[in-house]
């Protein structure tokens, strides 16, 4: 049931985003694609995932023999004790006593090729390989969660910028209305229908409206920079209306059940538990006997060839309590991970419920503010007509116009909040990804790098920098900062 619902949601959302927007305006899909392509945070997490992939290679390499080349060179100087001996001169037969002693220098050199291969270790290396693979899968789900964060930041920046632009339009309309009211008030003042106080009130309101308009334009500039932070580029001249809201599970209970099945943080925590459990078993295997093969072939001076082959067994009998402590520590870490999964699950359920509540509040606010806008428009038009008949004051009209401004602002804010709340619900479930949204973008495939390094190759070419990283390196070299 959850799988069918997931596929229906993915199909509906993909069609929505694929048909959204126009040829001349930036669309929400454009913003999401640009954010995915240019996010430094995603690039950082991808490289961190690659570093986790290398843990598998390290664990695999532990199964293989190691071969090393060793050399040594040294001199040994031996000193002998002196003694007094008598020597006879052969020419004249005279005997003399001399001290005899000295030193002896020996030069030693050796070259050898050493092989070390663990034949049996109680299975601890295989367990560590399994743990490393589980950690890789968990890290991939963490990358998916970061992708959701990048997508939500882009949606938030897009909708906030669009709201800021629309609020500027409302403020401009407000300035025009107050300006018209000021002109009408001045005309009525000239014929004596109102006092100078009415003119001053209208002028004050117009100055305040212009100030608020300037502040609203400043908010647009701020929102543009936030958009650039989220997507890496400044927005175009216009933003298209967001597409219709993507499909959501019909009830909050269904959404919470789906989130517990597919949310990347839940999946990541589950694989972390498996990895830590395998590491705890590996710690237990560290206490078992091991057998290794050692071979040494070399040459020593003077011209002595050696070949040594040994089969070594090791049985940990007493390690001062280190190995039991490490095993207990690994077990505790696995248990802690299980507790973390429970806490994560609760937070996800709460987050889905909170997101749905926010969506319902925003939708209720839309209904209420729409009624408020209609009522405020009628009140404003009626008061303006009554003011021309002299039964309403200028202040009454300006107050009604301000009420209309507040109602229109509240409606736009509620509409934007409702649109954002839909994507917050998707993120809380775990569905705010490029795949589920159906974005036309080349997705990063973490299995490519993993497949290249999982067997612990000698080649380091998979570590070549990305195109962006290469450009950064060239800039740094240009400034001699590498």
What pLDDT does 189 receive?
A: 83
What pLDDT does 348 receive?
A: 96
Q: Are 224 and 161 in contact (CB under 8 A)?
A: yes
d(CA 420, CA 359): 8
pLDDT along the chain (482 residues), means of 10: 47 42 69 94 95 95 92 81 62 62 76 92 94 96 96 96 95 89 84 84 90 94 95 90 89 95 96 96 94 90 84 91 94 96 96 95 93 90 82 81 90 94 96 93 93 88 58 52 40
What pLDDT does 303 receive?
A: 77
pTM of the model: 0.81
Query: How many CA atoms are closer than 13 Å to the CA of 67, on its beta-carbon side?
Result: 2
CA angle 361, 363, 367 (to 5 degrees): 115
Assign 118 to helix, strand or coil.
strand
Tokens of 351: 């987050």
What pLDDT does 360 receive?
A: 94
Q: Are 426 and 436 in contact (CB under 8 A)?
A: yes
What pLDDT does 17 receive?
A: 44
Q: Provide long-range contacts, Cβ within 8 A and 24+ apart, for 248-256.
A: 248/9, 248/422, 248/425, 248/426, 249/5, 249/9, 249/429, 252/352, 252/353, 252/356, 254/5, 255/352, 255/356, 255/425, 255/428, 255/429, 256/348, 256/349, 256/352, 256/353
Q: Where are the domains of the chain?
A: 2-62+135-287+323-458
What pLDDT does 263 receive?
A: 96
Q: Which CATH number fits domain 2-62+135-287+323-458: 3.30.360.10, 3.30.565.10, 1.20.1600.10, 3.40.50.300?
A: 1.20.1600.10
Tokens of 367: 């209904």
Does a cis peptide bond (omega within 30 degrees of 0) precede residue 405? Answer: no
Helix (H) or strand (E) holding 111: strand 95-120
Strands (DSSP E) found in 215-289: none
What pLDDT does 73 receive?
A: 86
What pLDDT does 172 receive?
A: 93
């Amino acid at each position: 049931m959850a799988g069918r619902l997931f596929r229906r949601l993915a199909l509906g959302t993909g069609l929505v985003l694929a048909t959204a927007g126009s040829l001349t305006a930036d669309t929400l899909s454009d913003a999401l694609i640009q954010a995915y392509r240019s996010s430094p945070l995603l690039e950082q997490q991808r490289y961190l995932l690659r570093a986790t992939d290398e843990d598998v290679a390290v664990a695999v390499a532990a199964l293989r023999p190691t071969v090393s080349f060793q050399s040594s060179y040294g001199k040994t100087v031996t000193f002998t004790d002196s003694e007094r001996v008598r020597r006879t001169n052969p020419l004249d037969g005279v005997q003399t006593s001399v001290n005899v002693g000295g030193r002896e220098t020996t030069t030693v050199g050796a070259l050898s090729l050493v092989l070390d291969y663990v034949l049996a270790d109680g299975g601890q290396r295989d367990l560590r390989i399994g743990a490393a693979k589980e950690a890789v899968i968990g890290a991939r789900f963490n990358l998916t969660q970061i992708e959701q964060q990048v997508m939500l930041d882009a949606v938030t920046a897009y909708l906030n910028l669009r709201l800021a632009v629309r609020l500027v339009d409302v403020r401009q309309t407000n300035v025009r209305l107050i300006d018209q009211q000021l002109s009408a008030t001045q005309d009525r003042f000239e014929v004596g229908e109102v006092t100078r106080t009415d003119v001053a009130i209208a002028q004050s309101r117009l100055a305040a409206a212009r100030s608020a308009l300037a502040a609203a334009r400043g908010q647009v500039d701020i929102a543009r920079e936030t958009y650039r932070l989220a997507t890496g580029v400044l927005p175009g001249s216009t933003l298209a209306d967001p597409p219709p809201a993507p499909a959501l599970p019909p009830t909050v209970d269904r959404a919470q059940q789906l989130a517990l099945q597919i949310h990347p943080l839940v999946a990541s925590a589950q694989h972390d538990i498996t990895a830590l459990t395998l590491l705890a078993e590996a710690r237990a295997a560290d206490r078992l006997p091991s057998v290794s093969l050692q071979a040494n072939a070399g040459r020593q001076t003077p011209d002595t060839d050696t070949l040594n082959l040994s089969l070594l067994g090791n049985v940990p009998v007493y390690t001062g309590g280190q190995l039991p402590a490490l095993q207990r520590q690994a077990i505790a870490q696995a248990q802690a991970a299980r507790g973390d999964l429970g806490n994560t699950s609760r937070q996800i359920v709460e987050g889905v419920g909170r997101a749905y509540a926010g969506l319902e509040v925003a939708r209720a606010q839309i209904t209420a503010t729409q009624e408020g806008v209609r009522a405020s428009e009628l009140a404003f038009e009626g008061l303006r007509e009554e003011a021309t008949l002299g039964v309403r004051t200028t202040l009454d009209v300006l107050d009604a116009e301000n009420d209309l401004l507040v109602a229109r602002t509240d409606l736009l804010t509620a509409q934007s909040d409702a649109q954002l709340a839909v994507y917050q619900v998707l993120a809380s479930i775990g569905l705010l990804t490029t795949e589920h949204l159906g974005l036309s973008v080349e997705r990063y495939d973490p299995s490519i790098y993993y497949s290249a390094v999982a067997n612990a190759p000698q080649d380091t070419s998979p570590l070549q920098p990305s195109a962006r990283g290469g450009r950064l390196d060239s800039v740094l070299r240009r400034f001699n900062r590498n």
